[in-house]
Amino acid sequence: MFKIIANREVGPGIFQLVLNYDQLPQNPKPGQFFNIKVSQPGSDDPLLRRPFSIFDFDAAEKKVEFIYRVVGKGTKILSELEAETELDVLGPLGTPFSLNENKGNVHLIGGGMGIAPLYYLSKKLKSRNQKVYLGAANQAELEFFAEKFKGLGVELHLAAMEEKLEIKGSALVLWLNYLEKNIPDYVYTCGPEKMLAAVEKEALKNNIGGQLSVEKRMGCGIGVCLSCSCETKAEDESNKRACVEGPVFGLGEVVLSA
Amino acid sequence: MPENSIETKQKLTKSELNLSVVMKSQQQTEEKNLNLKNPLITASGTCGNGKELADFYDINQLGAFTTKGITVEAQPGNKTPRIAETSAGIINSIGLENPGVESFIEEILPETKNYTLPILANISGYSEQDFINMAEKLEGRAELAGVEVNLSCPNIKGGGMVFGTDPEKVFEITKKVREIYSGYIIVKLTPNITDITKTALAAEEAGADAVAMINTLSAMKIDIERQQPLLANTFGGLSGPAVRPVAVKMVYQTYKKLEIPILGLGGVQSGSDVIEFMLAGATAVGIGTVNMIDPAAGPRIIEEIKEYMLRHQIKNLSSIIGAAH
């Protein structure tokens, strides 16, 4: 069983969920997710679990953290749960980021809630030569993330759509501004699919390797229902499941809608 | 007092319970029957091909396993989103994503060799000829106990459901498959029809060993923010607890009209739900959507059935089939 230690608002409609666990089948890796049942025992509403990528993990404290935005019925119910509540949680699930330890200069580009998995990733990357580009609607949405990343000692750049931070615009535009004079060895990105498609295009054009994490509407999270199939660019046109072969894919691996 | 009367008054213990059921074959010989150690059969497309559930429990504990639906050629499936959630239900439009019957035989079937439970292959088609082709390819495959002929998939254009709503088509396709395939044949029926007993009787008359009911109910969801259908395919099939009363009614309605056994399914979440289907007249009961939420549902449901049997002092589970009539 998992027990809620904290579930608090850290930005407008953005919550930090900290869970304490008894045991895990294995320690989660950056990019993996947990599938959480938010309805109370005996309730069928909502029926499906909700997948959340890992924001942070602490094996010594037996703690796993998530950041989520309240967008619908499931996250609304979750946001109202109090400390000490027990939760039915499956995981860790999915394929993690590969950490590519030999890569020198690494860029992390995160948009909106797509920032969440990049924090645990940033912490685990061997290379400390990391430049992190984050974007969201406004400063209030970014504040919590910015404080956390500053604590890691990485080079941090921030952009917001509604107000001027470093620029007024998206994480993508912010990153592109820097890219000309600063080509990285490797990129990691997570956020809206259009942003992923643009980062992928630009990276491949510049012969930069990297990985991205997709967000797909999931059913089961364990690979049985094929709700989250992603088209691939493979010759045999085979599909890959975001929940098993993903959510992390190599650049150029799956078809993204630009 | 004679000894045996004392015995009958003693409470049953868990180890004495008999959960086995027999799905009789129309082929009149006992070895053609489908013997299940309990009535639970996985519903096609909700358990992958078995190995995904292996992390959670040994699927050999179940009555039988139904594979993800296969077609003659490989299918990429529908565009995403393929799933929408609704109160106590989900609407899916996967679109039969599968590697095709040849890959199924070469790659998936060998993976089932460690299973000791009966395996059923779910087959779907876009034409009568498709079903004939698959029956020919699967005939004689020792790994399989039988096939589930899907005449009811709502997610393929011009496919299954169109056949499944016409009793004559159900008869014709079932008869063709029966002429070729010698294993156990279950015909899976659609609820999107005025009178399901007509298609059930057509399947029986054509030689089906059993019918499965129900497949999903045709449904849709509109994203009111985007003001567009949520599913890329617009329509999908509703499953989950929301459809269970419809399924129970159809099993109940069909039970007395049919000689062959019924595999009842639709929204089963618990042992109580299995009991309800059996009381309505189902010999075996499918578990589908629940596997997506609770991958370890199978063994839990078996325990819940046992608790019911102890509470009602039922030694043989098969004795309650159709008991609500």
CATH of residue A41's domain is 2.40.30.10
Sign of CA dihedral B272, B275, B281, B286: positive
A144 domain residue, yes or no: yes
Whether residue A155 is found in the same domain as residue A233: yes
A97 domain residue, yes or no: no
Q: Is the pLDDT of residue B5 over 50?
A: no
**Backbone φ, ψ for residue A170 (5° rounding):** -95, 170
Residue B6's pLDDT is what? 47
* Residue pLDDT, tens place only, A143-181: 999 999 999 999 999 999 999 999 999 999 999 999 988
A65 domain residue, yes or no: yes
List chain B domain ranges. 14-320
Whether residue A108 is found in the same domain as residue A59: no
Q: Report, as an integer, the average pLDDT of B178-191.
A: 97
Residue B8's pLDDT is what? 54
- As given in the structure block, the two tokens for residue B173 are 């396709």
The CATH number corresponding to B14-320 among 3.20.20.70, 3.40.50.1820, 3.30.2270.10, 3.40.50.9100 equals 3.20.20.70
Q: Average pLDDT over chain B, rounded to whole?
A: 93
Q: Mark yes or no for CB contact B52/A223 under 8 Å.
A: yes
Whether the ω angle into residue A46 lies within 30 degrees of 0, i.e. cis, is yes
Which residues make beta-bridge pairs with A153?
none
Whether residue A73 is found in the same domain as residue A113: no
What is the C-alpha separation between B325 and B321, in angstroms, rounded? 10
Final residue belonging to a domain, choices A61, A91, A121: A91
Query: With contact defined as beta carbons under 8 Å apart, do B282 and B262 qualify?
Result: yes
Q: Is A67 helix (H, G, I), strand (E, B) or coil?
A: strand
What is the C-alpha separation between A26 and A45, in angstroms, rounded? 30
Residue B155: pLDDT band with limits 50, 70, 90: low
Q: Report, as an integer, the average pLDDT of B226-242.
A: 96
A215 domain residue, yes or no: yes
Residue A229's pLDDT is what? 95
> In B143-170, which positions are buried (b, 16+ CB within 10 angstroms) versus exposed (e)?
ebbbbbbbbbbbbbeebbbbbbbbbebb
Q: Which residues of B are annotated as a binding site?
A: 44, 68-69, 92-96, 122, 150, 188, 214-216, 240, 266-267, 288-289
Whether residue A164 is found in the same domain as residue A133: yes
> Is B153 considered catalytic here?
yes
Query: With contact defined as beta carbons under 8 Å apart, do B288 and B43 qualify?
Result: yes
Q: Is the pLDDT of residue B93 over 70?
A: yes
Q: Max CA-CA distance within chain A?
A: 57
Sign of CA dihedral B37, B42, B43, B44: negative
What does chain A come to in residues?
Answer: 258
Cα distances (angstroms) measured from residue A143 to each of A31, A53, A135: 22, 19, 11
| pTM > 0.90 | yes
A96 domain residue, yes or no: no
Q: Is A146 helix (H, G, I), strand (E, B) or coil?
A: helix
**Residue B289 to chain A, least CA–CA distance (Å):** 9
Kindly name the residue from B90, B101, B108, B153 that is annotated as catalytic: B153
Whether residue A132 is found in the same domain as residue A19: no
Q: Mark yes or no for CB contact B68/A226 under 8 Å.
A: yes
Q: Is the pLDDT of residue B2 over 50?
A: no
Count of helix runs (H) and strand runs (E) in chain B: 10, 16
Residue B30's pLDDT is what? 85
- Domain range enclosing A13: 1-91
CA dihedral A178, A180, A184, A190 (to 10 degrees): 50
Residue of A218, A227, A239, A244 best to disrupt the B interface, most CBs of B under 10 A: A227
What is the C-alpha separation between B255 and B204, in angstroms, rounded? 12
Which residues make beta-bridge pairs with B74?
none
A110 domain residue, yes or no: yes
CA dihedral A116, B79, A226, B41 (to 10 degrees): 140
Q: Residues B88, B91, B92, CA angle at the centre, nearest 5°?
A: 140
Q: Is A126 helix (H, G, I), strand (E, B) or coil?
A: coil
Q: Is the pLDDT of residue B250 over 50?
A: yes
Output the DSSP codes for B4-26. HHHHHHSPP-GGG-B--EEE--T
Query: With contact defined as beta carbons under 8 Å apart, do A11 and B253 qualify?
Result: no
The segments of chain A whose pLDDT lies below 70 read: 101-102
Sign of CA dihedral A68, A119, A146, A251: negative
| A44 near B CB under 8 A | yes
Whether residue A227 is found in the same domain as residue A125: yes
B297 C-beta neighbours (distance < 10 Å), count:
25
Residue of A225, A228, A233, A240 best to disrupt the B interface, most CBs of B under 10 A: A225
Residue B157's pLDDT is what? 58
A82 domain residue, yes or no: yes
Final residue belonging to a domain, choices A42, A62, A91: A91
What is the C-alpha separation between A135 and A150, in angstroms, rounded? 15
Whether residue A120 is found in the same domain as residue A73: no
What is the C-alpha separation between B322 and B247, in angstroms, rounded? 14
Q: What is the chain B residue with the closest CA to A232?
A: B76
Q: Report, as an integer, the average pLDDT of B222-229.
A: 96
Q: Mark yes or no for CB contact B295/A220 under 8 Å.
A: yes
B216 Cβ contact list (under 8 Å, min separation 6): B91, B92, B154, B191, B236, B237, B238, B239, B243
Q: What is the chain A residue with the closest CA to B241?
A: A44
Whether residue A111 is found in the same domain as residue A238: yes
Whether residue A136 is found in the same domain as residue A197: yes
| A229 near B CB under 8 A | yes
* Residue pLDDT, tens place only, B203-219: 999 999 999 999 999 99
CATH code for the domain in which residue A186 is found: 3.40.50.80
Residue A113's pLDDT is what? 97
Burial class (CB in 10 A: 0-12, 13-18, 19+), B62: buried
Alpha carbon B89 to its chain's center: 18
Output the DSSP codes for B130-154. HHHHHHHHHTT-TT-SEEEEE---T
Q: What is the chain B residue with the closest CA to A225?
A: B46
Q: Is the pLDDT of residue B70 over 90?
A: yes
Whether residue A130 is found in the same domain as residue A76: no
Residue B178: pLDDT band with limits 50, 70, 90: very high
Whether residue A62 is found in the same domain as residue A116: no
Whether residue A115 is found in the same domain as residue A230: yes
| A227 near B CB under 8 A | yes
Final residue belonging to a domain, choices A64, A91, A118: A91
B238 Cβ contact list (under 8 Å, min separation 6): B86, B89, B90, B91, B216, B217, B218, B219
Which residues make beta-bridge pairs with B155?
none
- As given in the structure block, the two tokens for residue B83 are 């799933």
Residue A71's pLDDT is what? 94
B2 C-beta neighbours (distance < 10 Å), count:
6
A98 domain residue, yes or no: no
Task: Name the domain count of chain A.
Answer: 2
What is the C-alpha separation between B323 and B251, in angstroms, rounded? 12
